[in-house]
A and B are shown apart, each in its own frame.
Chain A
């Protein structure tokens, strides 16, 4: 028997802590562009600037969502075009790199920083984390304003789809609603930040064993058309 060289995407299984200030594998930061106009986009890996581009937000015609894989970006790219109210999702497909993103709106009079992910997630943006390792995770916000918990377990015979996400709202005073969520391994939690915040999610311990997982038949998938991934 022969087989091709296949490399396991090890960080997917090794990552235990996730931080909105340093985007890694299994995290996604969604920035919304509610205003039409031109924006400058910078992406850093650690301290190194790795990507620079313009974003043109137009009233009509652009896509509503773009995904940018920070692990595969080249230094300079063509301008991105986006519809008003659209979002760009910044994610990392592989590797151990830690990234942050800055977006500046260019107006006639000034340049306004709309996003600096190394600082805070601005109000209206979203931060998603896909949790693979089973166990209990703690959700922390900068300044210790709020705290939450995510329980992740392996499927035990129920209908299982990794492509399901649970929304958590970060409200006033950093309140998380709901405060605790339970998901299956490989699924995602999306934090909708209605106030500026930064988030850190840490694996803290395994859950108590509840019997071996049961293998299930695959289920047919039907989901909305996926946004363009670049």
Chain B
């Protein structure tokens, strides 16, 4: 039988989890080139809501944790192809070889169009996961791993003494896919179209350039390689190309399971502070274990020598 037992009710556990999750900030920015266009993102989000349930099978289930985007900025840059006149070859009578003409291009320089828009208001996502509680022992005498991947995620600095730490250890994490509504597709397409059209002068010059490129909408879809709906293309961009789903999943996993315990117990544990010139009373903690049932979390430990 354990020397020491501590029980934490589901309500207190829920409160502890709320305090912990408030500190999880999802923040990242990057850009990448896809040949005829570049795409970049600058995102920041925090977590809100959700329900947590302790279960008799020793797991806890977290449902519908909202990802609130404070910033979801998308930057798209189009590398417009050269628009040129002339060129081609003419057949000449034998023995004169065919003559090929040079092309003369409409724009000097490389015409690029770039738009940047914040889509935070249009996206809502949820995270759900099932987890177990994991006990880890922090030995302050050991050097930290290098690189310390937890450094940017850690809420509190590491202690200067040994510690038992209880982590929420997700088994499977379910993050909703980015799913942009039609209005976002229209917004992005209109912005790109406006950017391209601003490059083209009016009158017959415009008619000629449009004849060369087909139409601005076709040109944009061709450059971005959009097979069908632009909003589906945008969703794929965020989900797959940017890898933001994986990033969020990994971040949540690392934040809870590796970097930030929900509870910690010092070893040795101070049970009486120093007073009246006497040193504090500390007891070594051994064999700490944790379990959950549908009512509470239970910690058990021995007092070692």
Residue ranges of A at the interface with B (Cβ–Cβ < 8 Å): 1-9, 12-13, 25-26, 28, 30, 32, 64-65, 67, 69, 85-87, 89, 91-94, 126, 128, 130, 132-134, 154-155, 160-167, 184-188, 190, 192, 212-213, 215-218, 223-224, 226-227, 229
| Chain A residues whose CB sits within 8 angstroms of the CB of B90 once the complex forms | 165-167, 190
Between-chain CB contacts (< 8 Å), 5 pairs: A2-B116, A128-B101, A134-B204, A162-B85, A185-B85
Expressed in whole angstroms, the minimum distance between the Cβ of A13 and any Cβ of chain B is 5
Expressed in whole angstroms, the minimum distance between the Cβ of A118 and any Cβ of chain B is 21
Question: By the criterion CB–CB under 8 Å, are A9 and B108 in contact?
Answer: yes
| Chain A residues whose CB sits within 8 angstroms of the CB of B194 once the complex forms | 1
Given contacts A30-B99, A154-B207, contact A186 B86 (CB under 8 A): yes
Question: By the criterion CB–CB under 8 Å, are A89 and B102 in contact?
Answer: yes
Given contacts A154-B208, A167-B91, contact A229 B107 (CB under 8 A): no
Question: By the criterion CB–CB under 8 Å, are A186 and B208 in contact?
Answer: yes
Interface size on B, residues (CB 8 A): 50
Most interface-central of A9, A89, A94 (chain B CB within 10 A) = A9
Expressed in whole angstroms, the minimum distance between the Cβ of A84 and any Cβ of chain B is 11
With the chains together, A133 CA to B212 CA distance in Å?
Answer: 14
Question: By the criterion CB–CB under 8 Å, are A132 and B208 in contact?
Answer: yes
| Chain A residues whose CB sits within 8 angstroms of the CB of B84 once the complex forms | 162
Question: By the criterion CB–CB under 8 Å, are B101 and A165 in contact?
Answer: yes
Question: By the criterion CB–CB under 8 Å, are B88 and A188 in contact?
Answer: yes
Residue ranges of B at the interface with A (Cβ–Cβ < 8 Å): 84-92, 95-116, 191, 194-195, 198-199, 201, 204-205, 207-208, 210-215, 218-219, 222
Given contacts A3-B198, A163-B86, contact A91 B104 (CB under 8 A): yes
| Chain A residues whose CB sits within 8 angstroms of the CB of B213 once the complex forms | 218
Question: By the criterion CB–CB under 8 Å, are B218 and A218 in contact?
Answer: yes
Partner pick for A218 among B85, B97, B222, CB 8 A cutoff: B222
Contacts A9-B108, A185-B204, A215-B210 known; 16 new A-B pairs at CB < 8 A = A1-B113, A3-B112, A3-B114, A6-B110, A7-B107, A30-B99, A65-B100, A85-B96, A93-B105, A128-B86, A130-B104, A154-B211, A155-B211, A190-B99, A216-B214, A229-B102
| Chain B residues whose CB sits within 8 angstroms of the CB of A89 once the complex forms | 99-102
With the chains together, A65 CA to B99 CA distance in Å?
Answer: 8
With the chains together, A86 CA to B210 CA distance in Å?
Answer: 36
Partner pick for A163 among B88, B110, B112, B113, CB 8 A cutoff: B88
| Chain B residues whose CB sits within 8 angstroms of the CB of A7 once the complex forms | 107-109
Given contacts A5-B109, A6-B107, A32-B96, contact A130 B101 (CB under 8 A): yes
Question: By the criterion CB–CB under 8 Å, are A67 and B102 in contact?
Answer: yes
Partner pick for B195 among A1, A164, A186, CB 8 A cutoff: A1
Expressed in whole angstroms, the minimum distance between the Cβ of A1 and any Cβ of chain B is 5
| Chain B residues whose CB sits within 8 angstroms of the CB of A190 once the complex forms | 90, 99, 101
Partner pick for A154 among B88, B101, B113, B204, CB 8 A cutoff: B204
Given contacts A2-B114, A6-B199, A216-B211, contact A224 B108 (CB under 8 A): no
| Chain A residues whose CB sits within 8 angstroms of the CB of B199 once the complex forms | 3, 6
Most interface-central of A12, A30, A69, A134 (chain B CB within 10 A) = A12
Question: By the criterion CB–CB under 8 Å, are B108 and A162 in contact?
Answer: no
